[in-house]
């Protein structure tokens, strides 16, 4: 499962995230569930990164950024999102900061795009940036498992992330400046993340 380590490392580099927790220590292959599960009782905290075995099997032989392609990005983005949730939760826990479900979703959407931009840059395929943006943000697709009361959270995260990522694309083509924008976003408070997106 080296590809999971590669994705986690790339996300941490993108965001200048410095926690030392490794995805493989928390991975729980499942039949069909993809989620970051967090159970806290008093001082005890249990975390599991649930990823479906079918997804893990599909991508296990891939190496990133070399094997990145637009055709499989929708499926790959499911994995990126759960690792993003894990990274943000660990980073905030190290700083004794709470993390809301909305912030996890927002960061996950931004990280999927940031990861894709990094891969396209490494492949010298920047011409595909608009295509990747479209895959992520042209249409919000919510799974059947999303409860009615949670739909608003996913819609807000999607729209906020879309606005931020559009700003990143419009404001600069310089990869170093883009990386700084992603780092600033990651390390900002939730309120500031919303402001950065407007």
Q: Are strands 27-30 and 44-52 parallel, antiparallel or unpaired?
A: parallel
* pTM, full prediction: 0.93
| Extents of the domains making up the chain | 2-22+60-197
Taking only the tens place, the pLDDT of each residue in 146-197 is 566 666 777 888 999 999 999 999 887 889 999 999 999 999 998 999 888 8
Taking only the tens place, the pLDDT of each residue in 141-153 is 765 665 666 667 7
Positions of E strands within the chain: 27-30, 35-41, 44-52
**DSSP 3-state helix, strand, coil percentages of the chain (rounded to 5)?**
65, 10, 25
At a CB cut-off of 8 Å and minimum separation 6, what does 91 contact? 17, 18, 19, 186
């Amino acid at each position: 499962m080296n590809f999971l380590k590669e994705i986690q490392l790339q996300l941490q580099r993108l965001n200048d995230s410095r926690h030392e927790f490794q995805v493989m220590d928390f991975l729980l292959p499942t039949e069909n569930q993809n989620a970051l599960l967090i159970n806290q009782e008093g001082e005890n905290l249990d975390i599991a990164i649930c990823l479906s075995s079918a997804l893990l099997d599909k991508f296990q032989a891939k190496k990133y950024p070399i094997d990145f392609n637009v055709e499989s990005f929708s499926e790959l983005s499911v994995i990126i999102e759960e690792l993003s949730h894990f990274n943000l939760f660990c980073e905030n826990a190290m700083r004794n900061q709470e993390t809301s479900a909305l912030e996890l979703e927002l960061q996950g959407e931004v990280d999927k795009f940031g990861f894709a931009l990094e891969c396209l840059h490494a492949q010298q395929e920047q011409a595909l940036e608009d295509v990747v943006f479209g895959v992520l943000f042209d249409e919000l697709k919510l799974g059947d498992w999303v409860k009615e009361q949670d739909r608003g959270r996913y819609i807000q995260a999607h729209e906020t992330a879309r606005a931020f990522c559009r700003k990143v694309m419009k404001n600069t083509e310089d990869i170093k400046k883009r990386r700084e924008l992603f780092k600033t976003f990651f390390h900002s408070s939730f309120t500031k993340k919303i402001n950065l997106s407007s």
